[in-house]
Amino acid sequence: MKIKPEIRILGIDDGSLVDDKVLVVGVVFRGGFWIDGLLSTYIERDGLDATEKIIEMVKNTRHKDLGVIMFDGVTFGGFNTIDIKKINGETGLPCIVVIRKMPDMLSIKNALKYLKDPEEREKMIENAGKIYRTELKDDKVLYYQFSGLTREEAEKLIKITAIHSSLPEPVRVAHIIATGVVRGEASRKP
């Protein structure tokens, strides 16, 4: 995969959980510097529709030059879990999941027991693959998973886009927009 400094990256995150329908925002970035567009959809809180809704959002966009999708974790709208391999396969776009802290998998599995179809959710989480660690500037650390590209390519894309904080700009801005729309105000400190 050729990684240009201005590769189009779709950063995806969800808004605050204030209703049964949760806003999911996708921000199209060129590298880590310029916003080129905005996409959105709604998913069910703790539902099982996030994977399909994200695939539909990506397939229906006019931004046909997307190079990568970046996610802030594998759960949206509570525990509406995404299958990054399915998203990669159906959109043809490599996927990177970024995570600020190493997840406590035991706590996650225990929480899933209280939801509908816990085995399906657990399978999607496991399907995201091994969690890797990368060191960023200022001794910051970020964890990540990926599908459809190499570990080296995933790390390069993270480092190209993590310019203001340890969180890559596409997902940082997607979070700010989604939360701001839902709550009326948002910020994410670096």
Residue-wise pLDDT tens digits, 34-75: 899 999 999 999 999 999 999 999 999 999 999 999 999 999
Q: Is the pLDDT of residue 12 over 60?
A: yes
> Could you tell me how many helices (H) and strands (E) the chain has, helices first?
6, 9
Measured CA to CA, the distance from residue 181 to residue 153 in angstroms comes to 32
The residues, ordered by sequence, that sit 6+ positions from 92 with a Cβ below 8 Å of its Cβ are none
Q: Which residue has the tokens 């399906």?
A: 120
The answer to whether the CB of 55 falls within 8 A of the CB of 90 is: yes
The helix/strand/coil state of 56 is: helix
- Split at pLDDT 50, 70, 90, the class of 144 is very high
The pLDDT of residue 189 is above 90:
no
Label residue 22 by pLDDT band (50, 70, 90). Answer: very high
Task: Determine which helix (DSSP H) or strand (DSSP E) holds 75, and give its type and residue range.
Answer: strand 75-76
Given a contact cutoff of 8 angstroms between Cβ atoms, the answer to whether 77 and 18 are in contact is no
Separation between Cα atoms, residue 114 and residue 162, nearest integer Å: 35
- Residue 4's CB: how many other CB atoms inside 10 A? 10
pLDDT tens-digit profile of 23-39? 999 999 997 788 999 99
Higher-confidence residue of 163 and 69: namely 69
Greater model confidence, 4 or 37: 37
What's the pLDDT at 190?
40
| Cβ neighbour number for residue 187 with a 10 Å cutoff | 8
The values of phi and psi at residue 35, to 5°, are -90, 130
pTM above 0.85, yes or no: yes
Instruction: Yes or no: say if 40 and 23 are a contact pair by the CB < 8 Å rule.
Output: yes
Helical H segments across 12-161, by residue range: 50-59, 84-91, 105-112, 118-127, 151-161
| CA 178/CA 58 separation, integer angstroms | 17
- pLDDT (mean) for 111-136: 94
Topology annotation, domain 8-183: archaeoglobus fulgidus dsm 4304 fold (3.30.2170)
Answer yes or no: is pLDDT of 187 > 70: no
- For residues 104-114, average pLDDT: 92
The pLDDT of residue 188 is 54
Mean pLDDT along residues 163-177: 92
